[in-house]
């Protein structure tokens, strides 16, 4: 049987072609389609925590740390009584991080990604902003990272759902 299988036109060879294609190729194709569909779902995620965003100075991360700033916005505390300031949802993460870049509050050349002391910011908003900036999702929070949409996958993060 092994001698006849490789020769064209033998009954064993015709049987092998029919069964082999049906038993191997079709399940492989089904598995490939299932995995591709699953991957698309895993690559996109919603931003569920809009009260903090991560503004990256460069496209890198080390475990739970990253070069850049964690941003939270609060409403002003008006009135004579001290009270906790309510958090404000950040709807446009790219705009907030772009402002930080323009003020030089983010710097890709610094190890931490942010200037060490006060007074190094640019009040004229004239510092260059990297282009493009991409929104990824990290633990439900928006993470704005310099780079195109492939930067999310490179850092093991999901892309933000549109």
Rounded distance between C-alpha atoms, residue 96 and residue 68, angstroms: 13
Higher pLDDT, 11 or 138: 138
Q: How many CB atoms lie within 10 A of CB 155?
A: 17
Rounded distance between C-alpha atoms, residue 67 and residue 58, angstroms: 7
Q: Structure pTM?
A: 0.68
Give me the pLDDT at residue 111, please. Answer: 94
Q: Please answer whether residues 6 and 13 qualify as being in contact, where contact means their C-beta atoms are separated by less than 8 angstroms.
A: yes
Give 27-55 pLDDT, tens digit per residue: 444 444 444 443 333 478 999 999 999 99
Mean pLDDT computed over 137-153:
96
Higher pLDDT, 20 or 145: 145
Average pLDDT, the chain: 79
């Amino acid at each position: 049987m092994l001698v006849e299988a490789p020769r064209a036109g033998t009954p064993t060879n015709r049987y092998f072609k029919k069964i082999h294609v049906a038993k191997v190729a079709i399940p492989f194709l089904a598995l490939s389609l299932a995995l591709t569909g699953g991957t698309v779902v895993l690559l996109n995620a919603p931003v569920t925590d809009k009260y903090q965003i991560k503004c990256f100075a460069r496209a890198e991360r080390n475990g739970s740390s990253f070069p850049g700033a964690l941003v939270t916005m609060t409403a002003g505390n008006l009135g004579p009584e001290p009270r906790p300031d309510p958090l404000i949802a950040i709807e446009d993460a790219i705009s907030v991080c772009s402002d930080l870049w323009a003020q030089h509050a983010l710097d890709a050349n610094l190890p931490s990604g942010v200037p060490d002391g006060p007074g190094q910011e640019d009040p004229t908003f004239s510092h260059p902003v990297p282009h493009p900036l991409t929104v990824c999702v990290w633990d439900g929070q928006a993470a704005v990272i310099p780079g195109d949409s492939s930067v999310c996958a490179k850092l093991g993060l999901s892309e933000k759902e549109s």
